[in-house]
Amino acid sequence: MRRSVLLCLCIVAIAWITRLMGAPSSEPPRYHFKIDSQPLGTALQEFAKQSGVQIIFFSQVTEGLQAPALNGSYTISGGLALLLSGSHLFFRVINPKTIEICFSTAIDSSIFSIRPLPALRAAIDAGRRAS
């Protein structure tokens, strides 16, 4: 009898302490951003600096694109969605600290063409001969 009362008291104490400490939030963290309207590549670098997340992209992806200003408190995904709005670019989370900026698939095929395998082999061979 004493054991069950003691066990119940321990369970109540643990539940009470957990409640006081607060349960971990399932909402993603928000960051305060202050990024002026500027070329998209520069804005993404500033976004990475202010959020602590690594953002990777080829410079050609953002060339000639302008980012809107981003001022306020946003999640990583919310802030990136605003910066990329109207650009036909999207982001892909590689891991919790690395994000890739890419062309949307509709644009990919029109901008990049895949070389046929024989042409690729010839280019590699030519490079080897030149070295």
Q: What is the CATH number of the domain that holds 61?
A: 3.55.50.30
Position 95 in a domain: yes
Amino acid 111: pLDDT: 42
Into how many domains does the chain fold?
A: 1
Alpha carbons 102 and 74: distance in angstroms, whole number: 21
Range of the domain at 80: 31-103
pTM: 0.62
Amino acid 122: pLDDT: 52
35 within 8 A of 73, measured Cβ to Cβ: no
Position 74 in a domain: yes
Position 41 in a domain: yes
Position 26 in a domain: no
Q: Is 11 helix (H, G, I), strand (E, B) or coil?
A: helix
Interval 87-94 mean pLDDT? 92
Amino acid 60: pLDDT: 92
